[in-house]
């Protein structure tokens, strides 16, 4: 990537912290944000996969660093934000994208799974936002993007804790938008429909279903297919960029029409 190309990007000069960045939506968003001129700090539990993404970014001419962290651990969240500030001096975009799913009713769900899903999907947003917002305030603003889900807006079968966690993300997003709007910090969430990632295939496994049958069922929506990680990344780019300068507190549904009839 030549510097002249980079300067034309929609995120030129910006710094983005992306969690769950080693694969799926996080990886696609990191690649897209870098192409648009952003410097990237990538966080994930999976160290090898995360380093591979960062190598790919740096080889393309971007400036990217990786840190293996547990987003549910307050100390880890503090450490990665301090690392980002030392390296880049600022954080303009926080993409709270790390997430997990457990497919079960409340009767079949273990207490450990309940706690883990709520911690990864909700508590991590609180922990990282608490670290990042003071830096955004000093810099005069920023954009926080949270990954919610279509199941944060409507219920789904055998997904009790996932629906609960993503519903929490939707309302946490709105509450944060109210609190931090006066500091020019915009807070929005994306509600993806089924997207072709490892997590979607893992759902099939958890339910004991054949993955090709599960994917075919997932494609039953007006556009007749599941989404791609790149399509969700484009929504994140919109919310990260100045194109959405008057957008805060919103839930952007990107689901091929899946919720349209519900």
Q: Which residues are catalytic?
A: 162
User: CB of 255 within 8 A of CB of 227?
Assistant: yes
Q: DSSP of 31-82, one letter per residue? A: HHHHHTT-EEEEEES-HHHHHHHHHHHHHTT--EEEEE--TT-HHHHHHHHH
| DSSP tag of 9 | S
Question: Bridge-partner residues for 195, per DSSP?
Answer: 227
Tokens linked to 257: 């029409």
User: CB of 123 within 8 A of CB of 72?
Assistant: yes
Question: Bridge-partner residues for 144, per DSSP?
Answer: 94, 187
Contacts of 211 by beta carbon, 8 Å cutoff, 6+ apart = 201, 204, 205
Contacts of 27 by beta carbon, 8 Å cutoff, 6+ apart = 21, 53, 229
């Amino acid at each position: 990537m030549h510097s002249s190309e980079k300067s034309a990007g929609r995120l030129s000069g910006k710094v983005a912290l992306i969690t769950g960045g080693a694969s799926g939506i996080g990886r696609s968003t990191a690649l897209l944000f870098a192409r648009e001129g952003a410097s990237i700090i990538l966080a994930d539990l999976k160290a090898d996969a995360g380093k591979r993404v960062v190598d790919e970014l740096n080889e393309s001419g971007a400036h990217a660093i990786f840190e293996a962290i547990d987003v549910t651990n307050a100390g880890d969240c503090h450490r990665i934000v301090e690392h980002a500030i030392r390296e880049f001096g600022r954080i303009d975009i926080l993409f709270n994208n790390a997430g997990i799913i457990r497919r079960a009713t409340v009767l079949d769900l273990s207490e450990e799974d309940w706690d883990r899903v709520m911690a990864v999907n909700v508590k991590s947003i609180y922990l990282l936002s608490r670290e990042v917002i003071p830096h955004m305030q000093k810099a005069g603003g920023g954009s926080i993007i949270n990954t919610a889900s279509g199941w944060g807006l409507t219920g789904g079968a055998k997904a009790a804790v996932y629906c609960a966690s993503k519903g929490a993300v939707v309302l946490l997003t709105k509450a944060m938008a109210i609190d931090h709007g006066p500091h020019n910090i915009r807070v929005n969430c994306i509600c993806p429909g089924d997207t072709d990632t490892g997590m979607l295939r893992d759902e099939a496994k958890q339910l004991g279903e054949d993955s090709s049958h599960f994917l075919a069922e997932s494609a039953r929506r007006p556009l007749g297919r599941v989404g791609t990680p790149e399509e969700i990344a484009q929504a994140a780019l919109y919310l990260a960029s100045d194109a959405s300068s008057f957008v805060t507190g919103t839930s952007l549904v990107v689901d091929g029409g899946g919720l349209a009839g519900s």
